[in-house]
Amino acid sequence: MMSDTGPSPIQRKSLHLELVDRLQPLIIGGELVPGSKVPEKELCDRFGVSRTPMREALKVLASDGLIRLEPNRGAWVTIVTISEVEEVFPVLGALEALSGKLACESITPAELDEVSDLHAQMIASYERRDLDAYFSINQKIHRAILMAARNDTLTASCQALSLRMQRARYLANMTEGRWYDAVQEHERILQYLLARDGENLAQTLLEHMEAKRQSVVRWLQAQEQEAAE
């Protein structure tokens, strides 16, 4: 007779969630162009899957705001608008600020070491002007601080909004001046985190997100002007 107290079975990630993980970078990185129709059959062939898990994955992406599903017309990559950025970024900034404040209260020495290591990697990517690597490591730093806050409700809310804005933040390539400023902001973020200075860290994260908002809005305005010409 099998014991009820034995180890629980290993849970495997379902196929449609694996597809979500594959499709998100295509949308965030712009391979699936904003405003374009999602080529379902082409993607099924590319990943060797049937239409059923693909459509389940698209439902998840729609709930995340990355695509929209239209009856009888298929799935379309959503377009990030200025009004959406203006609405989401202040909320995201407030959540990031709260995560910083809570993280200062509960972060472990091992987690501090992890953030310090990530920061060093990010600086190295900046020095060699590797924007893709910089962006990826930057996201890991923000996530590490969020996880150190140890608040599941905060984590879920912040990640949902961050995912909606990642595409615009990635595509709105920074100017050299803005990139330098962002690095200096991250230097202060690390400094206040290591000092467990929650108030100053929260304020710095707020300012960091506001600067990102301004950068993204400028890029979107330029895109609109270019399209109108």
pLDDT in tens, 104-149: 999 999 999 999 999 999 999 999 999 889 999 999 999 999 999 9
Q: What is the CA radius of gyration of the chain?
A: 20
Q: Which domains are delineated in the chain?
A: 15-77 (1.10.10.10), 82-224 (1.20.120.530)
- CA distances for 34 relative to 65, 124, 211, angstroms: 12, 31, 23
Q: Position of tokens 């705001």? A: 65
Say which residues have a Cβ less than 8 Å from residue 109's Cβ, sequence separation at least 6.
Answer: none
Q: What is the pLDDT of residue 13?
A: 66
Integer CA distances (angstroms), 144 to 99, 117, 121, 128, 168, in order = 10, 11, 14, 24, 21
Q: What is the mean pLDDT of the chain?
A: 91
Q: What pLDDT does 164 receive?
A: 83
Written as six digits, the tokens of 92 are 């995201």
Taking alpha carbons only, the member of 92, 106, 202 closest to residue 148 is 106
Residues 37-58 have pLDDT tens digits of 999 999 999 999 999 999 999 9
Confidence band for 12, pLDDT divided at 50, 70 and 90: low
CA distances from 126 to 10, 138, 148, 151 (A): 40, 11, 25, 31
160-189 confidence digits (pLDDT tens):
899 888 888 776 767 888 999 999 999 999
